Structure 1
Amino acid sequence: MFDTMVITKAVAAFCGALLIFLLGNWAASGLYVPRNAGEQQAFIIDTGADDVAAEPVAELTFEEAFEVADAAAGSRLWSQCRACHALEEGRNGVGPYLHGIVNREIASVDGFNYSGALSQAGEVWTPEVLAEFLLNPSALTPGTSMNYRGLPSAQDRANLIAYIESES
C-alpha cells in the first residue's frame, strides 16, 4: 500500500505547502511593514504621564480610618460576612449574630457554641480588637473555627465595623 511513489507525493505536498506559506509571509511583510519601521520616531507627543511620579499612598492607621469610616461602603463589604453571620439579635447562623458586637464581651452570645480560641482575643470587642480580628482571624485567635482570610485594608475594616455598629 505504501510504496515509494506515495511517500514522494506526501513529501512533495508538504514542501509545496511550506513554500506557499513562506512566499505568503514574504509578500505580507512587503505590503504591510513600512520600510522605516526600525527607524527612530520623527516626533514624540508628550502626554505628561512621565512627569507624574507614582507617589506611594500612605496607608491610614485604623484609628484614622475609623474616624472617617463610611457605613455605606461597609454595607458592600457586609456581603462577605452575611454568609455566616446575621445582624438580627438572637439569630445565629454558622457564626454568632453580630448585632451590638461593638463593645460587647467576647464569646458572650447565648446559645452559640464558640471555639476556645477566642479567649486569646481579649475581654471586649472594641473597634480596635475587631479590626485586628478582621485583618487575619487565625493570627489573632489560632485554632478558631472561623475560616476567613481577612480584610487587608484598614479603611475596609473601619467601614465594615462602622456599618455593623450603625445597624445595631
Structure 2
Amino acid sequence: MFKITNIIKAAGAVLGAFLFFLLGNWASGALYSIGGSAHGDEGAEVAMMTATPGGLLDKGDDAAAAPAEEVVALVLGEGDVAAGEKVFGKCKACHKVDGKNATGPHLDGVVGRPVAAVEGFGYSDAFIAHGGEWTLEALDAYLTKPKDYIPGNKMSFAGLPKPEDRNNVITYLQSLGG
C-alpha cells in the first residue's frame, strides 16, 4: 500500500528534477548564447564569417565600410602550437603522432601528404576516391565538418566549429613535420 508520504516524496522528486532541468537550461543559455544575449535582445549584434577563414564582420550594413584593421583574419598555419596541441587532445582517442596507426592513421607529417597515403592503414572508399593533398586549406575544410568534406568517410568526429581551434591544430600538426 502506498502511503501519502510516498506520493509526496515522488512528486517532490519529479518537481525537483524539473526545476533542476529548468535551471540548467537557463544557466547554459546564459553561458552559451549565440548572437546576443540568452534573453533574446533584438538589438544585439551578431558576428558573421567572411570568406577568409577566421575573418569576422559585424552584422550591420556598415560592415563593408569597416577599415581593414578592424577585420581580423586568421592565417592558416600561423596559430598557437601549444593551444593546437591542447585541442589535439580531442583527436588522441583515434590518432597518434608517433608514426603508428591507431583507429585512425597517424597524423605526423600529414600537412602536404597525399590523402589516404599512410602505408598499412585501411582507408574507406570515400577517402581513396577523394584523392588530393592535405594542404592547409584542405585540412581546415575537413576539420570544419569531416562528413561534409568527404561524404561517406568512416570518421565519427563532428568537427571543430571554431576557426581558431582549427588553425591551432593545423599549426600543431604542421610543427610535427614528417
TM-score by length of 1: 0.62
Structure 1 residue 79 displacement after superposition: 0.4
Q: Over alpha carbons, which structure has the higher Rg?
A: 1
Match of 2:123 in 1: 114
Secondary structure of 2:83's aligned partner: helix
Instruction: Tell me: CA distance 1:95–1:72, structure 2 relative to 1, closer, same or farther (3 Å).
Output: same
Instruction: Tell me: CA distance 1:108–1:59, structure 2 relative to 1, closer, same or farther (3 Å).
Output: same
Structure 2 counterparts to residues 115-154 of structure 1, below 5 A: 115-154=124-163
User: Which ranges of 4 or more aligned residues in structure 1 deviate by more than 6 Å?
Assistant: none
Structure 1 CA distance for aligned equivalents of residues 134 and 105 of structure 2: 13
Structure 1 residues not aligned, in runs of 5+:
1-52
Secondary structure of 1:101's aligned partner: coil
Structure 2 counterparts to residues 19-168 of structure 1, below 5 A: 55-59=45-49, 61-62=52-53, 64-65=73-74, 66=76, 68-89=78-99, 91-168=100-177
Residues 3-37 of structure 1: per-residue CA shift (max 9 Å, x gap) = xxxxxxxxxxxxxxxxxxxxxxxxxxxxxxxxxxx
Structure 1 CA distance for aligned equivalents of residues 176 and 118 of structure 2: 17
Preserved contact between residue 116 and residue 131 of structure 2 (Cα < 8 Å): no
Structure 1 residue 58 displacement after superposition: 4.9
Structure 1 residue 69 displacement after superposition: 1.3
How many residues align structurally? Answer: 115
Which one is further off, 138-147 or 91-100?
138-147
> Structure with the greater relative contact order (CA < 8 A, sep ≥ 6): 1 or 2?
1
Preserved contact between residue 77 and residue 160 of structure 1 (Cα < 8 Å): yes
Task: Give, as a single letter, the amino acid of the residue that structure 2 aligns with 1:62.
Answer: P
Structure 1 residue 127 displacement after superposition: 0.9
Match of 1:19 in 2: none
Percent identity, please.
38
Structure 2 residues not aligned, in runs of 5+:
1-42, 55-72
Structure 2 CA distance for aligned equivalents of residues 121 and 134 of structure 1: 15
